[in-house]
Every structure is written in C-alpha cells, then in structure tokens.
Amino acid sequence: SPTPDQMLAAAQAVDTGAGCLFIVKNYEGDVMNFEMAAEMSEGILQIVTNDDVAVENSSYTTGRRGVAGTLVVEKIVGAAAEHGLALAPLKALGDRVNTATRSMGVALTSCTVPAAGKPTFDIGDGEMEFGVGIHGEPGRRRDTLKSADAIAQEICAAILGDLGDRAKGPALLFVNGF
C-alpha cells in the first residue's frame, strides 16, 4: 500500500475544503498507514470495511477482511458526497452501509499481478477456493468445481447465516468478476 506521506499528499490534492474520507479495506498494513495519514492532518476521517464472512481472522487482518463489499460502500458514500453531504454524515453513512454489508469470494483461478509476473496462488484444474481474499489469501476451503447454483447456495447460506435476524427484508445483490 502507499506510504502515509503519499496518502496525505493525495488527500490534500483532492480536498476542496470539506475534508477527505478514506475508505480502507481491513488489512493491517493498510489500516495502519491510512490511520497515520489521517493523524497527520485535520479533516480526514476513515471507514474500515470488513464485509467478508469467509474468515474471522487471517494472517493479514484482525477481524474480517474488507473485500468486494468495499465497492458498495464507495458507491453509496460517493453518490452522497456528490449530492453535498458533509464529511461527518458521510462517515456515519459509510459505517452504516459497512455494518449491513456482507460478502464472500470464490476463485476458480488465480490472478497474476503484473509486477509479480506469476499467479498469486496455485489452484488445480477442477478446483475452486471458497472465501478467497483479494490478495489470494486462503478462504474457508478448497473444493472440486461446483455448479453455479451450488456456489450461490453456499455463499447465500454463509451471508444470511451471518446476518441472522437482520437478513429479513430487502437486500442488494452485487455480483462482480474481481
């Protein structure tokens, strides 16, 4: 992740006088660097996303990871900012959206980061990883390929089980191809 000085410079470059809101995925190094940057200037607040139901703790995080649900927080908070909502209410909105957001990733293949030039993890033909992290961290388990229906059923069961009583009512379903 960028250094705190780089983050601060970016925040200062885009701040129009209303302040800046960092939306940070819950990975320890990212959280630490963004917190340091926020402490270096007035008018910077942050939201730490933690939507992943796949694992509670990993070698990269304390608590849940921030993954695809971060995009939902960014889109909703960004739209509210475009409509003129002030910094503190934007943070409150983002925190509420984050609290209500759950996700779980599934990988059929690994990605290759151009700078690394090789896949971030190995996965065999006919295998899939339930709950993989955005950096290729292991998830809940590796299994043989399943049908789309079986995958959707497992993901929905994990998310709805985690939400408990809060799962009653309307929901936003977001499917992406990260």
- Residues with catalytic roles: 135
Tokens of 127: 């295998």
* Cβ neighbours, 10 Å, residue 133: 25
Q: Could you tell me the sign of the dihedral formed by the alpha carbons of 29, 172, 99, 164, in that order? A: negative
Q: How far is CA 73 from CA 61, 91, 119, 153, in A?
A: 19, 10, 28, 24
First to last CA, the chain: 19
| Cα 150 → chain centroid | 24
| Distance in angstroms (rounded) separating the CA atoms of residues 71 and 69 | 5
